[in-house]
């Protein structure tokens, strides 16, 4: 596969996987292969999402989103299941999946990354953090500064667990205003935290709409992720929530007829 990638770069042709015929969009900047990471997305395992796990690897290759964190609502199994699908497709030298969970605490949502087991909802933020750390995981604060986000972590809870937060999401494609992404960046900068981006995808085509671009590498450990985030640049496409809702409904309808919708 690496030889095919090099040949595609030399001939300026879009590479494709050898045996699957899948699109494989490889991006180079100044001679370095780069990739995108989306650390906040949902799948069919979430109660409010229909994105089939089996459809995600092809979309990851198509969009150069080489690393995703599967953060289904109060469920952890989506990440390991997607990892197995990628292994079965022979793509585990190209794509990385971080098992995670968007946990509903008693005071709003938090994301845990690199989880080995599901964390029960409705625990206190402090207990949720303790359980994430007990699994060797990372605590990611997502959309926590948007007052119109129904399940954002309450400001007083954010203040209490601030020293335990490992990553702050500074670009979320689904906030009420892009302004709140800037507020998150200021908060994270003051604490020297690594920045992440999350599409908060609830349809297949949403995946990768927010990203961190960083030199290509496989991500298997928290330490590797932190290094990649520190070396990366956050970017994305913000969509007004009203428009995003309409697009979601259309994509869900359209997906009944097109597998890549």
Spell out the per-residue pLDDT of the chain, length 261, in tens. Answer: 445 455 445 544 444 444 457 889 999 999 999 999 999 999 999 999 999 999 999 999 999 999 999 999 999 999 999 999 999 999 999 999 999 999 999 999 999 999 999 999 999 999 999 999 999 999 999 987 999 988 999 999 999 999 999 999 999 998 988 899 999 999 999 999 999 999 999 999 999 999 999 999 999 999 999 999 999 999 998 876 656 556 656 665 666 655 544
CA dihedral 87, 205, 52, 103 (to 10 degrees): 90
Examine residue 9 and state whether it is found in any structural domain, yes or no.
no
Measure Cα distances from 169 to 100, 117, 194, 239 in Å: 14, 23, 9, 16
The bridge status of strand 233-236 relative to strand 210-215 is antiparallel
Element (H, E) at 222: helix 222-230
3-state secondary structure of 96: strand
The pLDDT of residue 252 is: 59
Examine residue 13 and state whether it is found in any structural domain, yes or no.
no
The pLDDT of residue 13 is: 46
Examine residue 191 and state whether it is found in any structural domain, yes or no.
yes
Instruction: Compute the residue count for the chain.
Output: 261
Q: Which residue has the tokens 């428009």?
A: 243
CA distance 218 to 215: 10
CA distance 164 to 230: 18
Examine residue 91 and state whether it is found in any structural domain, yes or no.
yes
Q: Using alpha carbons only, what angle is made at residue 158 by residues 153 and 164, rounded to the nearest 5 degrees?
A: 120
Host domain of residue 53: 20-252
Examine residue 8 and state whether it is found in any structural domain, yes or no.
no
Examine residue 7 and state whether it is found in any structural domain, yes or no.
no
pTM for the model:
0.86
Cβ pair 105, 73 in contact under 8 A = no
The pLDDT of residue 245 is: 58
Examine residue 183 and state whether it is found in any structural domain, yes or no.
yes
CATH code: domain of residue 171: 3.20.20.140
Give every CB contact of residue 220 below 8 A, 6+ residues apart in sequence. Answer: 96
Q: Give which of 120, 112, 55 is closest to 89, Cα–Cα.
A: 55
What does the buried/exposed string (b/e) look like for 190-204 if buried means 16 or more CB atoms within 10 Å of the residue's CB? eeebbbbbbbbbbbb
CA distance 102 to 34: 27
Count of domains forming the chain: 1
CA distance 168 to 143: 9
Examine residue 12 and state whether it is found in any structural domain, yes or no.
no
CA distance 258 to 261: 6
């Amino acid at each position: 596969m690496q030889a095919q990638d090099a040949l595609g770069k030399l001939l300026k042709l879009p590479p494709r996987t050898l045996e699957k015929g899948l699109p494989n969009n490889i991006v180079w900047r100044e001679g370095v292969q780069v990739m995108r990471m989306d650390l906040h997305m949902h799948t069919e395992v979430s109660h409010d999402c229909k994105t089939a796990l089996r459809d995600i690897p092809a979309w990851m290759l198509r969009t150069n989103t080489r690393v995703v964190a599967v953060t289904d609502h109060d469920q952890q199994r989506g990440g390991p299941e997607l990892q197995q699908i990628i292994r079965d497709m022979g793509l585990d030298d190209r794509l990385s999946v971080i098992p995670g969970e968007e946990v509903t605490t008693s005071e709003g949502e938090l994301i845990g990354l690199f989880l080995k087991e599901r964390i029960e909802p409705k625990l206190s933020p402090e207990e949720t953090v303790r359980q994430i750390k007990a699994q060797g995981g990372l605590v990611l604060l997502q959309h926590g500064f948007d007052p119109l986000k129904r399940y954002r972590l309450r400001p007083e809870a954010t203040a209490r667990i601030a020293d335990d937060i490992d990553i702050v999401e500074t670009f979320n494609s689904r906030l009420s205003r892009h302004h709140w992404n800037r507020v998150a960046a200021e908060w994270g900068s003051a604490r020297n935290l690594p920045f992440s981006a999350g599409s908060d995808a609830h349809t297949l085509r949403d995946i990768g709409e927010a990203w961190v671009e960083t030199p290509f590498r496989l991500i298997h450990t928290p330490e590797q992720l932190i290094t990649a985030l520190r070396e990366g640049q956050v970017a994305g496409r913000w969509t007004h929530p009203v428009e995003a809702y309409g697009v979601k409904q259309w994509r869900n309808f359209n997906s009944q007829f097109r597998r890549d919708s």
